Amino acid sequence: MDKITIFWFRQDLRLGDNPGLYQAAKNGLVLPIYIQDDASQGEFKVGAAARWWLHHSLDKLNISLDGMLNIYVGEAKNIIQKLVEQYSVRTVYWNRSYEPWRIRDDSAIKAMLKDINIDCKSFNGSLLWEPWEILKKDDTPYKVFTPFYRRGCLESKPPRVPLPAPENIELFKDQSNHTILENLNLLPSNPWHKTMDLTWKIGEQAAKNRLTEFLKRGLQGYKEGRNFPILKNVSRLSPHLHFGEISPNQVWHAAQTKFPIENFEKDLDHFLSELGWREFSHYLLYHFPSLHTENFQEKFNLFPWQENATYLKAWQAGETGYPIVDAGMRELWLTGYMHNRVRMIVGSFLVKNLLIHWRHGRDWFWDCLVDADLANNSAGWQWIAGSGADAAPYFRIFNPITQGEKFDPQGEYTRKFVPEISQLPDQYLYKPWEAPEHVLKKAGIILGKTYPRPIVSLEDSRNMALEAFKCMKER
């Protein structure tokens, strides 16, 4: 039998611009594998919405591999060792992931393979720049985004040009393995995901189509339009990037090639800087591997967070009585996604108006987002809480009334996800408790029954938050 190269798919579920797969194909026969290893991920195993996406993404990948994807369940190290012993394996390739347990497990697998004289190589298939390549002049990591991106990344070597999909790749099927995709039990047993089925197209080709559509219709006006949840000026590429159905290099270079044809430099620069924020989140998690569990700024260990299950449940269900907050939380539940501006609004409400720890928000998003990414989710929640690197100052507290009026002025987004108040006039849409009784009656609303009254006062809760922040600084 010819010597075999194992290629291990992880968060790179594509054929195009897949450095590890591209190099593996040059070696001859390739055994493509995917391993579901929930135990190694501990409490941060893939959440419910992301598991739904993963199922469909693996299905699309298997189709593109002509049904030759080999799926396994268990500890990756043991499975790879068994395959190496079972077949005439010469090399093992994969693309790097940067979660702490991935780095730990990858190191152990590399050591194991080295001990038995198996060549092992890992590649960068998911970041524009390696985290260890971008450092300050004193060789310490950046902690502030703008110098990280403008001085560190943009003054470093440019992102590599995307690779083509390998041609005429020779694939090998492990006939002794009978695990199929359905054995992973990624799909939920109840049908809550049916609305997500209608929302998303999944897989490598869908990711390419989404990018093309965004560059054609969404990039122009992006810098300002991205703040308005009803507009099309967001790429919605985040789940495709997370699962590696498309690479950031493909997105970066596709956007760059569009630039000379069009005339919107500021929009392009801002969109590329959002890819930079994605890089920064992964960079922080790499250099500070407790980012997802501990306050980046230790002073927040003294913050007097409140435990309030009633408030938390109301927030999760989109029943806070603040329409823009409730719209965001319901969009999340129905679609597995939330517009970025609204993520900041609902996050601020949880940690500052309700004084509930950012970890509760992290966990809910982790289970509900199709783009749930440990680095982005953790860095984002710490940013809004004020406890993270380059974070928004704690006293910056989003007002859900003014945010709704400013960024959803006609209420199209809010009315879509909170239909029970859709008949309210615009002037009362974000503060229905101020509407006269006859207006509420005409709109078919009974506060406290058909739509909740606010669970907290904005003014009182803001003052409590500022007082808590002040007490933290004094301790």
Annotate the chain with three-state secondary structure: CCCEEEEEECCCCCCCCCHHHHHHHHCCEEEEEEEECHHHHHHHCCCHHHHHHHHHHHHHHHHHCCCCCEEEECCHHHHHHHHHHHCCEEEEEEECCCCHHHHHHHHHHHHHHHHCCCEEEEECCCCCCCCCCCCCCCCCCCCCHHHHHHHHHCCCCCCCCCCCCCCCCCECCCCCCCCCHHHHCCCCCCHHHHHHHHHCCCCHHHHHHHHHHHHHHCCCCHHHHCCCCCCCCCCCCHHHHHCCCCCHHHHHHHHHHHCCCCCCHHHHHHHHHHHHHHHHHHHHHHHCCCCCCCCCCHHHHHCCCCCCHHHHHHHHHCCCCCHHHHHHHHHHHHHCCCCHHHHHHHHHHHHHHCCCCHHHHHHHHHHHCCCCCHHHHHHHHHHHHCCCCCCCCCCCCCCHHHHHHHHCCCCHHHHHHCHHHCCCCHHHHCCHHHCCHHHHHHCCCCECCCECCCCCCHHHHHHHHHHHHHHHHHC
- 364 noted as active-site residue: no
- Catalytic residue selected from 124, 277, 294, 433: 277
Lowest model confidence (mean pLDDT) among 42-51, 72-81, 332-341: 42-51
d(CA 458, CA 452): 15
At 42 the pLDDT is: 82
- 78 noted as active-site residue: no
At 259 the pLDDT is: 65
pLDDT for 333 beyond 70: yes
Measured between alpha carbons, how far is residue 79 from residues 54, 130, 208, 246 in Å?
20, 28, 32, 27
**Rounded mean pLDDT, 210-228:** 95
The pLDDT confidence band at residue 221, using thresholds 50, 70 and 90, is very high
What digits encode the pLDDT tens for the residues 264-323? Answer: 889 999 999 999 999 999 999 999 999 999 999 999 999 999 999 999 999 999 999 999
d(CA 471, CA 299): 11
Question: What is the β-pairing status of strands 89-95 and 119-123?
Answer: parallel
- 277 noted as active-site residue: yes
The pLDDT confidence band at residue 193, using thresholds 50, 70 and 90, is confident
- Catalytic residue selected from 358, 364, 366, 383: 358
127-161+203-287, what's its fold? 1.25.40
Please say whether the beta carbons of 105 and 40 come within 8 A. Answer: yes
- Does the 298-474 domain belong in CATH 3.40.220.10? no
Question: Tokens at residue 210, please?
Answer: 């989404």
**Rounded mean pLDDT, 375-398:** 90
- Catalytic residue selected from 192, 305, 319, 420: 305
Residues in CB range of 203: below 8 A, 6 or more apart: 13, 56, 57, 59, 60, 61, 64, 245
At 336 the pLDDT is: 97
At 257 the pLDDT is: 87
For the chain, residues classed under CATH 1.10.579.10 are 298-474
d(CA 419, CA 386): 33
The pLDDT confidence band at residue 396, using thresholds 50, 70 and 90, is confident
Residue 235 CB-half CA count within 13 A? 28
Question: Tokens at residue 374, please?
Answer: 């440990």
- Catalytic residue selected from 130, 340, 405, 433: 340
- 274 noted as active-site residue: yes
pLDDT for 474 beyond 70: no
**Rounded mean pLDDT, 159-164:** 97
- Catalytic residue selected from 130, 170, 274, 420: 274
For the chain, residues classed under CATH 3.40.50.620 are 4-125
CATH fourth-level superfamily of 4-125: HUPs (3.40.50.620)
**Rounded mean pLDDT, 177-201:** 93
d(CA 280, CA 276): 6
- 8 noted as active-site residue: no
Residue holding tokens 């710490």? 382
- 340 noted as active-site residue: yes
pLDDT for 464 beyond 90: yes
